[in-house]
Amino acid sequence: MCLCSLWKRWWPVAVRGRSRRTKDLYPSSYSDKDPQMCTKLVTSMACGHTFTRVAAQRSSCSSPCSTPSLQHKYINDTCAKCDPESRRRRVKLDYEYRHAELMQLYMAAKKVGDENTMAELEHLMAENTRVTRQKNFEVSLVSHDPDVVWQEDFEEPVHDFKY
């Protein structure tokens, strides 16, 4: 189902019975004069991930939007999955979980007196530390600015690709 036809159903609820038209509530890009049925914003992030949202729909649209207008934007920030602080936290949690698991096995081996298993577990703990340091180094390579920098002008698209 076309998003524009969903908009037609939602529109009377949105204005709650008032007689205002779309052009009275939204900027000119949302008005009935807009030749595009749907406008989608594709926002690219510094980490390479993108997210898409419908920015404008015509309320008079009755057929599926086969050729939506795409506007590409850029934001100088990372998604939650790629955020350095979040990645560091996940690396730390992974390390602590694995270390606790290895220590539990080490204590069990020590209780029994199995020195070969204890030596192997010591090696695995050292390897766990090395891998964690490597992951933390990889996280630190990503430049990160705590301030989010949006594209200055949202009225004009950077690229206006039509498919």
Per residue in 5-39, pLDDT tens? Answer: 444 444 444 444 444 444 444 444 444 444 545 77
Determine the Cα–Cα distance for residues 77 and 144; give it in Å rounded to an integer. 8
Quick one: 44 and 7 in the same domain? yes
Whether 20 and 63 map to the same domain: the answer is yes
- Tell me if 65 sits within 8 A of 6, measured CB to CB: no
Tell me: pLDDT of 48 over 70.
Answer: yes
Q: For 57-100, how does the pLDDT look when each residue is reduced to its tens digit (9 = 90+)?
A: 666 665 556 666 777 788 877 777 778 888 889 999 999 999 99
| Residue 130 pLDDT greater than 70, yes or no | yes
Confidence of residue 125 (pLDDT cuts 50, 70, 90): very high
Same domain assignment for residues 68 and 124: no
Based on the fold, state whether residues 40 and 63 are members of the same structural domain.
yes
Are residue 71 and residue 17 in the same domain, yes or no? Answer: yes
Total of domains in the chain: 2
| Domain assignment of residue 104, given as a range | 84-141
Alpha-carbon distances of 144 from 38, 47, 140, rounded to whole Å = 34, 10, 9
Q: Is the pTM of this model over 0.75?
A: no
